[in-house]
Amino acid sequence: MTKGTPSKKGGKRTHTICRRCGKHAFHIQKRICASCGFGNTKKIRHYNWIKNRT
C-alpha cells in the first residue's frame, strides 16, 4: 500500500483528554491543553476575537 502522505507510526500520542474541558487537546509533553489552556494558565483560554456570531 502506498499513500502520498507519510504518517508517523507508533503509539505515541501527542494529545490526551483534557480533564477540564473534556476535549482531546491536552498536550502530554507540554502539559498544556490546546483548547482551554489548562496547565499553562489558571485562567481559561480565551481570546477576544472569539465571538459567537449568528
Q: Which parts of this chain interact with Zn ion (CB under 5 A)? A: 18, 20-21, 33, 35-36, 38
Residue 36 CB, shortest distance to Zn ion, in Å, is 3
Q: How far is the CB of 46 from Zn ion (least distance, A)?
A: 12
Of 7 and 15, which has the nearer Cβ to Zn ion?
15
| C-alpha cell, 19 | 480533564
What CA–CA distance (Å, rounded) separates 41 from 45? 8
Cα separation values, 30 from 14, 42, 43, Å: 9, 15, 17
Give 2 or 28: the residue with its C-beta nearer to Zn ion. Answer: 28
